[in-house]
């Protein structure tokens, strides 16, 4: 039995928030032209991922979700995975990081970015010295 159909988008280099509209349009066009269920986003050649990168990826995931599809990240660096976990992305099925570094391999295992909601520290009861 074949897996879900996919389209592949490769994002590389330094990504800024200004890149979001063009990338979202690109993904929207690809989805309009295909019956793919999943957008595989190869992020292995991203340079210095930061919160702007996370913003762009979140917008791409939202674009896919609005079209009734989902977004999977392939070849995400540990730094990008940490950022996604920090902001709470990757725990929903609409943004998943696949195991393995080969963007062409089809693996069944999908690894959520975090094992649950981010831990929150109760600041009301924290000793004053912790904030110095």
> Could you tell me the residue ranges of all domains in the chain?
6-131
pLDDT higher at 7 or 128? 7
pLDDT of residue 95: 65
pLDDT confidence tier of residue 80, bands split at 50, 70 and 90? very high
Residue pair 69/31 in contact (Cβ under 8 Å)? The answer is yes
pLDDT of residue 91: 56
Question: Residue length, the chain?
Answer: 132
What's the start-to-end Cα distance of the chain, in Å? 59
Domain 6-131 bears CATH identifier 3.30.750.24: yes
């Amino acid at each position: 039995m074949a897996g879900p159909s996919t389209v592949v988008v490769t994002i590389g280099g330094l990504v800024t928030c200004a890149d979001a509209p063009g990338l979202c349009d690109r993904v929207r066009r690809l989805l309009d032209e295909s019956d793919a269920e999943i957008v595989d986003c190869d992020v292995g050649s991203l340079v210095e991922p930061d919160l702007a990168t996370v913003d762009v990826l979140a917008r791409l995931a939202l674009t896919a979700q609005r079209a009734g599809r989902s977004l999977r990240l392939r070849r995400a660096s540990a730094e990008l995975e940490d950022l996604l976990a920090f902001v709470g992305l990757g725990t929903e099925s609409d943004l998943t990081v696949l195991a393995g570094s080969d963007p062409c391999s089809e693996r069944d295992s999908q690894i959520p970015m975090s094992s649950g909601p981010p831990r929150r520290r109760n600041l009301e009861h924290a000793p004053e010295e912790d904030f110095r």
